[in-house]
Amino acid sequence: MFTVAVIAQKGGVGKTTLALHLGVEAARSGPVTIIDLDPQSSAAQWADGRQAQQPAVVACPPARLAVALHAARRNGTRIAFIDTAPAVESPALAAVRAADFCLIVSRPGILDLRSIGVNVEIAKLAGKPVVLVINAAPVQGGQAVAAGEDAHKRYGVEVCPIIVRQRAVFGHALVGSRCAQEVEPAGKAAIEVAALWDWLARRAADQGQYDVPGISMARISAA
């Protein structure tokens, strides 16, 4: 099982949005569990409104994370995402410790990016691979790329080559307990999510923790 902690010190940057979209995408190639560590339980509420069994969403307090991950592994989960509350204190630390890989989410704005340093530091101290993904970037213009370069220089963090743009469907799909790729399967958001998942699955494969069924480089370059 490959476990990804989705973290950020800041709220509202898209941790839950990306955890759910990646979870739905990953579930096309095998069982997925999303562990919702956030007391706001947005991911769990999203799952309450769904008929589909996958991805499984489990809300649990941070103290039960190890038990929840153990159960997920026993149930045949291949990819687990840990959605966290905006924090750097012990719950976020628990997620980082339990993870094989840390995904820091930030919007491209300067104030968002300047808050990621401590997340990078925690992941590095824990010895975990860590990558920054820029979410909700303006649809046009080079702000996101410049922001990524700045973050790389400032914090020495690897930046994901896939940028997720600001697209209304990311928000309104969740209202109906769905994801963008389910609402608009041919839309740009769907392509971005597929590309992000392909990229992540490759990283998991590189770490020897996942074999990648049907990776499509064509979709990555299309995003």
Q: Does 9 bind Mg ion (CB under 5 A)?
A: no
Q: Does position 170 bind ligand ADP by CB under 6 A?
A: yes
Which backbone phi and psi does 184 adopt, to 5 degrees? Answer: -130, 80
Cα–Cα distances (Å) from 109 to 72, 117, 159, in that order, read 36, 14, 15
Under rule CB under 6 A, residue 13 binds ligand ADP: yes
Angle at 118 between CA 10 and CA 107, to 5 degrees: 35
Kindly state whether residue 171 participates in binding ligand ADP, applying the rule CB under 6 A. yes
Contact 66, 98 (CB under 8 A): yes
166 binds, among ligand ADP, Mg ion, none (CB under 5 to 8 A by kind): ligand ADP
**Tokens 């824990």 identify what position?**
126
Query: In the set 3, 9, 16, 77, which binds Mg ion (CB under 5 A)?
Result: 16
Structure tokens at 148: 């990524």
Q: How far apart are CA 130 and CA 160, in angstroms?
A: 10
Smallest distance from the beta carbon of 38 to Mg ion, in angstroms? Answer: 5
23 binds ligand ADP (CB under 6 A): no
Told to check if 11 binds ligand ADP by CB under 6 A, we report yes
The residue ranges that bind ligand ADP (CB under 6 A) are: 8, 11-17, 42, 86, 135-136, 164, 166-167, 170-171, 174
